[in-house]
Structure 1
Amino acid sequence: MRHWPLFALRVTTPRLELRLPTLDDLDALADRAAEGVHEPGGMPFGVPWTDAPPDERARSTVQIHFRQWGAWSPDDWSCSFVVAWEGRIVGTQEMAGRDFAYTREISTGSWLGLRFQDKGIGTEMRAAVLHLAFAGLGARHATSSAFVDNPRSLAVSRKLGYRDDGIEVHRRRDGAAQQQRVRLAREDWTARAGFEIHGLDPCLPLFGLPPRA
């Protein structure tokens, strides 16, 4: 699509492909949301969208991508990829930036279908967007956060070299819960073999960056 080149942007790793979703991809991602993305009773998200019935979870999964595409601007963007593994859509990995041309800082968030967890996919898909951010877009920092009772997410961050960056308190359901902020500086990032970026150059202005000469 000439006027929205993001649909051709992909990041590939030894096992995964990250891409903006087609409508069929969104259907598959919605199925993952309906199946479940965490154990019952837990809540790893500040907005408890997984408390909704399966059909509502599926519908909201589709809608968030439409909202992000419609709201995208070079000064404020959220790029949510679907994650394909062995030909199946297994989850989503987001990378977001505000005033990125000035801050050179991105944030990340993700979820993975429950039955695809504990396979190393979560670490690899986060590493993929870090490769896009640092090697592709020239980011200087990447940030993330997780509730302190979400050790899986924090373990992924620490495995990838993030350092603790303070505690915040947020509402979660009908109570308060602590979130651990984490930050990864470019100099602490380690590039991985077999990670490749495809179709980035036409997208650079949409990320607030000048086109390559």
Structure 2
Amino acid sequence: MISEYWPLYNLVLRTAHLELRFPTETELGELATVAAGGINRPGQRTYLTPWPELSPEKRGLFVIQNHWGCKAEWESSDWVLNLGVFADGQPIGMVSLRGKEFAVLREVTTGSWLGLEFQGQGHGTEARTALLHFAFEYLGAEAARTEVFQENAASQGVSRKLGYRPDGISRDVLDGQVIVSDRLRLTRESWRHVPHTPVTVSGFDGCEKFFLGDAPNP
């Protein structure tokens, strides 16, 4: 019955090897355990919010509370679609798609994390592809943006492989030091000229108003 009020529970993005969807509470606990097992290698930094460096228990709790918060704070003018990533039914990480004033700006940002044991197998590229397909082909996004630490070679590689182009830099403070991120941008036109794995979407009926409010989907 809850899906009558929150139809996003029915939304599923599928690729050849992955399924992206809202996790059940049990699955959310399993995803927290994956995160507790580690998502960064020693010395690696991937987020301005240094949650991957927390203790395993706090890292798992962060995943749970962040997921709950994204649902609780959802507004059609400012939303974060936070989905579990499953490979053959096994939880391996999470991805996020954010739209702020999306009905007007038609731009999204993406984020993701995978458990250490599931990295380096192409899952990150495949999961991001599913999010971008949904954003461009279902929500009518005009562009997707991301910011990546210059030292994060893996995420840089995924972005450029999918057609993102340089869009300047950002400078922030992390651990008392300046850290530089590359801003990257992918337009819908560029997306459609880059080969990528097929994606299918189910359960979108009834979800559109959560992303666009009363604005029409172009």
TM bucket normalised to smaller:
over 0.9
Question: Is the CA contact 1:95–1:106 (under 8 Å) kept in the aligned structure 2?
Answer: yes
Match of 1:207 in 2: 211
- Find the residue that maps to 1:2 and give its secondary structure: helix
Q: Residue in 2 aligned with 1:139?
A: 141
State the Cα distance separating 1:201 from its structure 2 match: 2.3
Which one-letter code corresponds to 2:26 in the other structure?
D
Q: Give the Cα separation in 2 of the matches to 1:65 and 1:141.
A: 24
Aligned to 1:196: 200
1:48–1:173 Cα contact (<8 Å) kept: no
CA offsets per residue over residues 140-169 of structure 1, 9 Å max, x none?
000011100001001000000000110111
- State the AA in 2 paired with 1:104: R
With normalisation by structure 1, the TM-score equals: 0.96
The equivalent position to 2:44 in structure 1, one of 18, 42, 46, is 42
Identify which of 183, 194, 197 aligns with 2:185: 183
One-letter identity of the residue aligned with 2:199: F
2:129–2:197: 8 Å Cα contact kept in structure 1? no
Unpaired runs of 5+ in structure 2? none
- Aligned equivalent of 2:63: 61
Aligned length in residues: 212
SS of structure 1 residue aligned to 2:83: strand
**How many angstroms apart in 2 are the aligned matches of 1:193 and 1:168?**
30
Structure 1, residues 116-141: CA drift from partner, whole Å, max 9, x if none? 01100000000000000001111000
**Structure-to-structure mapping, 1:30-179, within 5 angstroms:** 30-179=32-181
Residue 194 of structure 1 deviates from its aligned partner by 3.1
The normalised TM-score by structure 2 is: 0.94
1:144–1:182 contact (8 Å) kept in structure 2:
yes
Within 1, Cα distance between the matches of 2:93 and 2:163? Answer: 22
1:100-130 per-position Cα deviation (integer Å, ceiling 9, x unaligned): 1111100001111110011000000000000
1:27-79 per-position Cα deviation (integer Å, ceiling 9, x unaligned): 11101110000101221110101111100100111000111111000000000
CA–CA separation in structure 1 for the residues paired with 2:121 and 2:152: 17
- 1:160 and 1:193 mapped to 2: Cα distance? 10
CA distance in 2, matches of 1:29, 1:145: 24
Q: Percent identity?
A: 40
Helix, strand or coil: the match of 2:62?
helix
* Aligned partner (choices 20, 23, 26) of residue 22 of structure 2: 20
| Pairwise CA distance, 1:20 | 1.2
Q: Cα distance, 1:173 vs. partner?
A: 2.1
